A and B are shown apart, each in its own frame.
Chain A
Amino acid sequence: MTEPAPGEADPLVDLSDITLERIARLCGPSASGLDPDDITDRPMLRRAVRKVQRDGERGSGLLAGFSSHLR
């Protein structure tokens, strides 16, 4: 992964670069084995990593919900 030069507009990053699977291939044994605290200190990014790990453990069968109410 490369960082854009300072002041350079972000090109569209290759989204496959930032999946947990890709990070795991670079850094760890598996996506589920990554420690979110090692990856980032941003709380929302840690939360997202944990959620993706949980979803991975639960497997398929997860379904998207109604957006006109909160959970």
Chain B
Amino acid sequence: MSSALPQAGSLREFVYKVASRCNLACDYCYVYTGPDQTWRQRPRRMSPATIDAAAMRIGQHAHAHRLDSVQVALHGGEPLLAGPEVIERVIIAVLDAIPSGTRAELILQTNGVLLDRAFLELFARYQVRIGVSLDGNRQASDRHRSHADGRTSYPEVVRALHLLNSEPYRPLFAGVLCTIDLDNDPVGTYRALLEFEPPTADFLLPHANWSHAPPRRPDLGDTPYADWLIPIFDAWYDDPAAGTSIRFFDEMIQLMLGGVPATEALGAGVPGFAVIETDGSIEGADSLKSAYHGAAVTGLSVHAHSFDEALEHPMIAGPRLGRDALGPTCRSCPVVNVCGGGQFAHRYQAGVGFGNPSVYCADLRRMIEHVAGRVHRDLSGAVSRQPC
């Protein structure tokens, strides 16, 4: 490996929780409605001292590991609640702290409600890319994504998406994140997302585990989430003009072809990220909050600890073990290179821990079988056409 490549055991992605509250009251939110309630003790916004300490630690880590790039995600809660001054301070602090040979990729994930032209001007200045959470059409959105008083958020999100999709802001549009609800029509949901022409869309399995089962419907079979996703996959895969990347599907195909995992959702890879809470606490993946109260807590803080120290903590190191973190059922499974045992948080069972297969194991297996079958047929044709 050349000295320009990152050393093994580094972090590449830093999630800044710039605000710990939200202006929506989505009933499925893993931060506020799940077992973890640590947000109640957090400052509402990240202080300047914490912003600067986190940036210093990122710069220190990038320097020590000779990272060619770091990704900094502005997240919450709803990150726009932090206000433009706090957000700009984070950006400037990170840009000032990283070594000259390190590139910063900046991204913000928002519910869209507060996204306006002033924020977009700020993001355009620093090339911050923006992801928006959207579950589909108005009916789909209104099932979960409401204000605390029950008002719909959908018209505000649509307004934000139209603004983001207009010039000169369109290049900042990263895409949309959709949490699956089995009550929504799958292809209708896919088409509703495509109306906004997102460069990327992703479908997220609702956070669940063996002690807190995923939402089910008695009229659906044993693999309702695969059965929901497969019609979308087929519509997407059969569309020669499909301009939108569907991250879950793209990643699944890449892993089948021998690629490396891109996110914690699939693949027995080594997640390379850490979360920085508004008080400076360094935590593991946000999704761990869906397992139990305090599951993501490490006891470390950017005010006192480096990210190298964080790498030693079980809740950051555990998911980093890749295949070694899996139980015997997963290790002997023929599709383990693709599903990787599923998302770490989805393997949890009270009293047992994270050694199970994913609670979505049957869905993942069914989905992989379907996608593999389609890819296999295409590649069989390719091989037969080649002068091998």
Contact = CB atoms under 8 A, between A and B. Distances in A.
B112 interface: no
Given A48-B254, A64-B269, A69 B337 contact: no
Given A38-B386, A70-B247, A15 B271 contact: no
B142 to A, nearest CB: 22
B386 A18 contact: no
B80 interface: no
Interface in B316-351: 334-335, 337-338, 343
A44 B264 contact: no
B343 A26 contact: no
A69 B270 contact: no
B379 A39 contact: yes
A68 B286 contact: yes
Q: Which of A1, A51, A58, A68 has the most CB of B within 10 A?
A: A68
Contacts of B44: none
Given A38-B386, A47-B245, A48-B257, A67 B369 contact: no
A55 B270 contact: no
| Chain B binding surface SS class | mixed
B109 A68 contact: yes
B273 A65 contact: yes
Given A10-B370, A45-B378, A55-B259, A61 B13 contact: no
A54 to B, nearest CB: 9
Contacts of B1: 59-61
Interface residues of B, number: 76
Contact of B373 (A10, A19, A59, A68): A10
A40 to B, nearest CB: 5
Interface in B76-118: 105, 107-109
B306 interface: no
Nearest to A25: B388
Contact of A61 (B6, B200, B378, B380): B6
B175 A70 contact: yes
B326 to A, nearest CB: 14
Interface stretch (B49-57, B185-193, B235-243, B356-364): B235-243
A23 B379 contact: yes
Given A15-B335, A23-B383, A69-B108, 9 more contacts: A12-B372, A18-B256, A18-B257, A52-B254, A52-B257, A63-B13, A63-B273, A64-B271, A70-B200
Interface of B: 1, 5-8, 10-13, 15, 71, 73, 75, 105, 107-109, 129, 131, 174-177, 200, 202, 204, 236-237, 240, 242, 245, 247, 249-250, 253-254, 256-265, 267, 269-273, 275, 285-287, 334-335, 337-338, 343, 369-370, 372-373, 375-380, 382-383, 386-388
28 contacts: A2-B380, A12-B372, A15-B334, A15-B337, A18-B257, A19-B257, A27-B386, A28-B386, A31-B258, A39-B379, A45-B375, A47-B245, A51-B254, A51-B259, A55-B254, A61-B6, A61-B7, A62-B260, A63-B269, A63-B272, A63-B273, A64-B260, A64-B262, A64-B272, A65-B264, A66-B275, A69-B177, A71-B107
Closest 5 pairs (CB-CB, A-B): A63-B272, A10-B373, A70-B131, A69-B109, A19-B258
